[in-house]
C-alpha cells in the first residue's frame, strides 16, 4: 500500500499536471451567462465577413469537484437581465443581453453563491467578470499579468479586497490534474484557458477568448483589437498541442452554434 502511494506521488511529481487524473471532478454545467449581438463579424475576423452581423454566446462553466464548486468566468453582469434591450458596448458595435441571471441559474441547481469556493476568469473583459462580487469569499485564480494590467480608467480590474491567487503560468487547481488553468496570453496580457478532464466525456479545453468562433480557429485568425497577435497565435498552437496530447475537445465560449448544441442545466457533462 505504502509503495503504491509512493509510486503515484512520484508519477505526479515528475509529470506535474500532465499526469493522468484521479478525476475528482464529476459535473460540468454550461451556464447561459449572456448573449452578444454584434453588427460586424470582422471585428474578430479582419477582412472576413465585413459588415455581416454575428450572434455570440457568452457562457459560464460550473464545475463540481470532490473538494468543492468551481466557477469558470462570471459573464455579463446580472443587472443587465433587467434591461430588455441590453446594454451597448464597444461604441455601439455590440449589444450585451442577459436572458437570465447567474444567481438564478445557480439557485435552479440548488447551489448557493457561498458554495462556490473558487473562481477563475479567462480575462478581464466585461462579458467575463460581470458577477465577481456575487462571490466575495471565493478564491480568485487569475494571472498576475492580467490582475496588474492597467485599465483605461486607472481603476483596479478587481475589487482589491477580493481573495486572490496571482498566477504566473499554469495551475492545477485541485492538485489531481482534473481542472488545470492553462496560460494562453495574447487576447489580453494574462489571458488563460481551462483544461477539464471529465471521467466520461474526456478532456475538454474551455477556450476563454483565445478564439471566438470555430471559423477563426480553423483559419487561425486574430481579432484586430487583441493585445498581442504573436502571443495569440502561440497560445492557439499551445491549445492545439494540448488537444492533440489529451484527445481533447475545444469548447469555444462565444461560438453560438456550438453552444446551442450543448447540454443545458439541469443536464451536465460528467
Ligand atoms: Zn468575451
**Strand partners of residue 62:** 29, 71
Using the predicted structure, report yes or no on whether residue 151 has a pLDDT greater than 90.
Answer: yes
pLDDT of residue 11: 46
pLDDT of residue 66: 96
Using the predicted structure, report yes or no on whether residue 163 has a pLDDT greater than 50.
Answer: yes
Report the chain's terminal Cα–Cα distance, integer Å.
29
Q: How far is the CA of 102 from the centre of ligand 1 (A)?
A: 16
pLDDT of residue 16: 53
Q: How far is the CA of 125 from the centre of ligand 1 (A)?
A: 6
Q: How far is the CA of 57 from the centre of ligand 1 (A)?
A: 9
User: pTM of the entire structure?
Assistant: 0.92
d(CA 168, CA 199): 28
pLDDT digits (tens, 9 = 90+) for 112-148: 999 999 999 999 999 999 999 999 999 999 999 999 9
Residues lining ligand 1 (ion), CB within 5 A?
127, 209
Query: Are 223 and 166 a contacting pair, CB within 8 Å?
Result: no
Q: How far is the CA of 209 from the centre of ligand 1 (A)?
A: 6
Q: How far is the CA of 211 from the centre of ligand 1 (A)?
A: 9
**Strand partners of residue 60:** 31
Q: How far is the CA of 132 from the centre of ligand 1 (A)?
A: 15
Q: How far is the CA of 254 from the centre of ligand 1 (A)?
A: 7
Distances (CA, A) of 241 to 79, 111, 247: 39, 35, 10
Using the predicted structure, report yes or no on whether residue 20 has a pLDDT greater than 60.
Answer: no
Span 148-172, mean pLDDT? 97
pLDDT digits (tens, 9 = 90+) for 37-78: 999 999 999 999 999 999 999 999 999 999 999 999 999 999
Residue ranges of E strands in 157-248: 164-167, 171-172, 179-183, 192-198, 202-206
pLDDT band at 174 (very low <50, low <70, confident <90, very high): very high
Using the predicted structure, report yes or no on whether residue 245 has a pLDDT greater than 80.
Answer: yes
Q: How far is the CA of 20 from the centre of ligand 1 (A)?
A: 30
Q: How far is the CA of 124 from the centre of ligand 1 (A)?
A: 9
Q: How far is the CA of 7 from the centre of ligand 1 (A)?
A: 42
Q: How far is the CA of 1 from the centre of ligand 1 (A)?
A: 47
Q: How far is the CA of 3 from the centre of ligand 1 (A)?
A: 47
Q: How far is the CA of 58 from the centre of ligand 1 (A)?
A: 7
pLDDT of residue 144: 98
The percentage of the chain sitting over the pLDDT mark of 70, rounded to a whole number, equals 91
Mean pLDDT, the chain, whole residue set:
93
Using the predicted structure, report yes or no on whether residue 26 has a pLDDT greater than 80.
Answer: yes
pLDDT digits (tens, 9 = 90+) for 196-225: 999 999 999 999 999 999 999 999 999 999
Amino acid at each position: 500500500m505504502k509503495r503504491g502511494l509512493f509510486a503515484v506521488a512520484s508519477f505526479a511529481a515528475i509529470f506535474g499536471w500532465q499526469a493522468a487524473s484521479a478525476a475528482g471532478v464529476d459535473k460540468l454545467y454550461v451556464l447561459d451567462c449572456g448573449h452578444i449581438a454584434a453588427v460586424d463579424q470582422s471585428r474578430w475576423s479582419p477582412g472576413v465577413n465585413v459588415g455581416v452581423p454575428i450572434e455570440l454566446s457568452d457562457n459560464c462553466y460550473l464545475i463540481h469537484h470532490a473538494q468543492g464548486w468551481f466557477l469558470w468566468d462570471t459573464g455579463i453582469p446580472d443587472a443587465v437581465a433587467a434591461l430588455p434591450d441590453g446594454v451597448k458596448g464597444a461604441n455601439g458595435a455590440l449589444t450585451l443581453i442577459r436572458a437570465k441571471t447567474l444567481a438564478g441559474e445557480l439557485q435552479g441547481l440548488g447551489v448557493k453563491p457561498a458554495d462556490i469556493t473558487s473562481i477563475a476568469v479567462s480575462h478581464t473583459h466585461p462579458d467575463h467578470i460581470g458577477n465577481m462580487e456575487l462571490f466575495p469569499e471565493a478564491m480568485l485564480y487569475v494571472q498576475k499579468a492580467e490582475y496588474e494590467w492597467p485599465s483605461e480608467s486607472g481603476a483596479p480590474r478587481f475589487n482589491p479586497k477580493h481573495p486572490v491567487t496571482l498566477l504566473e503560468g499554469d495551475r492545477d487547481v485541485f492538485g489531481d490534474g482534473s481542472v488545470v488553468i492553462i496560460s494562453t496570453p495574447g487576447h489580453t496580457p494574462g489571458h488563460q484557458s481551462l483544461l477539464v478532464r471529465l471521467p466520461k466525456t474526456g478532456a475538454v479545453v474551455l477556450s476563454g477568448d483565445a478564439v471566438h468562433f470555430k471559423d477563426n480557429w480553423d483559419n487561425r485568425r486574430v481579432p484586430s483589437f487583441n493585445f498581442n497577435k504573436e502571443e495569440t497565435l502561440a497560445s492557439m498552437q499551445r491549445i492545439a498541442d494540448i488537444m492533440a496530447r489529451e484527445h481533447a475537445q475545444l469548447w469555444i465560449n462565444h461560438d453560438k452554434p456550438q453552444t446551442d448544441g450543448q447540454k443545458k442545466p439541469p443536464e451536465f457533462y460528467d
